[in-house]
């Protein structure tokens, strides 16, 4: 029997296709559906017969698991108890999107999703105490995964050895008559497979480059804090220097080890790019055991702002300048102090620099609580 094909309705956001496809999945059928990368072939992980069919179509070994597809990054803890650290950072920054995470699970049976489900469901989702998680950035995929209300695993919608399918026609060339339903939403956005990253503790490995190359993965793995003042010779470098030990304490490491934990401090000036840290800034920081002698003023750029996860402005004027350079960055740009400017000590005596450092410390103690590392 030929595979049923349903064309999605862009005006209705594919509501009819989602409704029918979710019913097929609930009954244990196989459904090919679009994602932003390539077409996926999904089945209920807790339906043994559906998994037998999926393994047969994909020529997959009985002990090999499939990638679990989730509707929202908030679903990850259902499959990975204590989902956090670097894996959660990838999830926050890349999901929904073309990134598959492979993470360790000490005891799959303890995962909330396994409540009331047998070991066959675990075999479909977990392999050697690891699980692959994917959160597609596609409206139809999202709606389908949400509607099924059961764990869904998926592989690329093609026969083993064939290239992943970017269109419905390519799906049918290999799978017509072998699967129950196909949602035809045209060519996928990227027409390229997702990137696979294996996360182990605080380190990661790019298993397969796809939509994201290694450089993008590196940026996704890193939390960047950017502090901005005018000349980048006193306030912002002091703020970056003072923030380092505070975050290091949270992570249980030394400030010098923050980069190993993929946390990066940066500072820049709206009129920066000339000279090092000011003499009094060096003195005030040295009293706190912080060495700014290697600092050199940097000019703020739109690229810096875009790459940062958190941008802290010393004054309202600095915030306005930041947003002129990168208007889309508004959600992550904030004053270091809620409604107060950090006064510029430039040209003043060392006592004013000390007061400035104390003000910055006060702001950091509050603001860094909002930073997720």
φ, ψ of residue 299 to 5 degrees: the values are: -85, 135
Alpha-carbon distances, residue 33 vs 26, 210, 317 (angstroms): 15, 19, 49
Q: Could you give the 3-state DSSP secondary structure of residue 34?
A: coil
Average pLDDT estimate for 128-147: 97
Q: Could you give the 3-state DSSP secondary structure of residue 134?
A: strand
The domains found in the chain, sorted by start residue, are 4-218 (3.90.870.10), 222-370 (3.40.50.2300)
Point out the catalytic residue in the list 235, 319, 356, 367.
235
Model confidence at 298: pLDDT above 60: yes
Point out the catalytic residue in the list 55, 198, 229, 319.
229
Rounded to whole angstroms, how far apart are CA atoms 322 and 300? 8
Model confidence at 119: pLDDT above 90: no
Model confidence at 11: pLDDT above 90: no
Rounded to whole angstroms, how far apart are CA atoms 148 and 135? 15
Model confidence at 368: pLDDT above 90: yes
CA-based max dimension of the chain: 85
Q: Tell me whether residue 75 is one of the annotated catalytic residues.
A: no
Omega within 30 of 0 (cis) for the link into 193: no
Structural tokens at position 173: 């060339």
Structural tokens at position 113: 């999703």
- Place 249 in a pLDDT band, splitting at 50, 70 and 90: very high
Quote the percentage of the chain above a pLDDT of 90.
Answer: 92
Write a three-state SS string for 311-322: EEECCHHHHHHH
Cβ contact 312:226 at 8 Å:
yes
Average pLDDT estimate for 330-348: 95
Burial degree of 303 (CB within 10 A; 0-12, 13-18, 19+): exposed
Alpha-carbon distances, residue 17 vs 23, 31, 208, 276, 332 (angstroms): 10, 11, 31, 61, 37
Q: What are the helix and strand counts (H, E) for the chain? A: 13, 15
φ, ψ of residue 309 to 5 degrees: the values are: -95, -30
- Closest listed residue to residue 229, CA positions, set 278, 263, 264, 262: 278
Supply the DSSP string of 244-277, one letter for each residue: HHHHHHHHTS-GGGTGGGTEEEEEEETT--SSBS
Q: Tell me whether residue 135 is one of the annotated catalytic residues.
A: no
Rounded to whole angstroms, how far apart are CA atoms 38 and 21? 18
Give residue-wise pLDDT tens across range 42-91: 999 999 999 999 999 999 988 788 999 999 999 999 999 999 989 999 99
Q: Provide the CA 203 distance to its chain's centre, in angstroms.
A: 15
Among 140-144, 201-205, 341-345, the minimum mean pLDDT is found in: 201-205
- Closest listed residue to residue 358, CA positions, set 233, 181, 239: 239
Average pLDDT estimate for 154-166: 96
3-state helix, strand, coil split of the chain in percent (to 5) is 40, 20, 40
Give residue-wise pLDDT tens across range 102-112: 999 999 999 99
Can you give the pLDDT at residue 192?
97
- Please state, rounded to an integer, the average pLDDT across all residues of the chain: 95
Q: Provide the CA 13 distance to its chain's centre, in angstroms.
A: 25
Give residue-wise pLDDT tens across range 40-51: 999 999 999 999
Q: Length of the chain, please?
A: 373
Quote the percentage of the chain above a pLDDT of 70.
Answer: 99
- Place 145 in a pLDDT band, splitting at 50, 70 and 90: very high
Rounded to whole angstroms, how far apart are CA atoms 17 and 22? 8
pTM to 2 decimals? 0.85
Rounded to whole angstroms, how far apart are CA atoms 143 and 9? 13
- Place 128 in a pLDDT band, splitting at 50, 70 and 90: very high
Q: Tell me whether residue 229 is one of the annotated catalytic residues.
A: yes
Rounded to whole angstroms, how far apart are CA atoms 198 and 185? 30
């Amino acid at each position: 029997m030929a595979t049923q094909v349903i064309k999605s309705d862009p005006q209705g956001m594919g509501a009819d296709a989602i409704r029918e496809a979710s019913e097929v999945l609930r009954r244990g059928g196989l459904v090919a559906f679009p994602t932003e990368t390539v077409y996926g072939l999904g089945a209920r992980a807790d339906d043994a017969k559906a998994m037998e069919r999926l393994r047969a179509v994909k020529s997959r070994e009985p002990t090999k698991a499939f990638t679990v597809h989730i509707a929202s990054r908030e679903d990850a803890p259902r499959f990975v108890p204590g989902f956090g650290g670097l894996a959660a950072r990838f999830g926050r920054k890349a999901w929904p999107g073309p990134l598959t995470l492979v993470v360790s699970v000490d005891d799959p049976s303890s995962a909330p999703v396994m409540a009331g489900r047998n070991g066959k469901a675990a075999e479909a989702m977990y392999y050697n105490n690891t699980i692959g998680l994917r959160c597609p950035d596609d409206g139809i995929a999202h709606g389908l995964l949400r509607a099924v209300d059961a764990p869904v695993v998926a592989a690329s919608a093609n026969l083993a050895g064939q290239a992943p399918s970017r269109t419905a026609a390519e799906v049918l060339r290999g799978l017509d008559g072998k699967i129950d339903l196909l949602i035809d939403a045209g060519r996928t956005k990227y027409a390229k497979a997702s990137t696979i990253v294996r996360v182990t503790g605080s380190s990661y490995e790019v298993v397969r480059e796809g939509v994201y190359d290694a450089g993008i993965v590196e940026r996704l793995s890193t939390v960047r804090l950017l502090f901005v003042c005018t000349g980048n010779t006193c306030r912002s470098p002091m703020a970056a220097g003072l923030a380092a030990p505070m975050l290091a304490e949270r992570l249980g490491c030394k400030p010098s080890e923050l980069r190993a934990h993929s946390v990066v401090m940066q500072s820049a000036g709206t009129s920066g790019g000339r000279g090092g840290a000011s003499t009094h800034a060096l003195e005030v920081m040295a009293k706190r055991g912080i060495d700014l002698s290697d600092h050199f003023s940097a000019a703020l750029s739109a690229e810096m702002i875009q790459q940062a996860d958190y941008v802290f402005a010393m004054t309202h004027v600095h915030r306005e300048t930041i947003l002129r350079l990168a208007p889309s960055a508004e959600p992550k740009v904030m004053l270091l102090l809620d409604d107060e400017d950090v006064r510029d000590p430039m040209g003043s005596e060392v006592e004013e620099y000390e007061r400035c450092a104390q003000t910055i410390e006060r702001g950091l103690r509050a603001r860094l609580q909002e930073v997720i590392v």
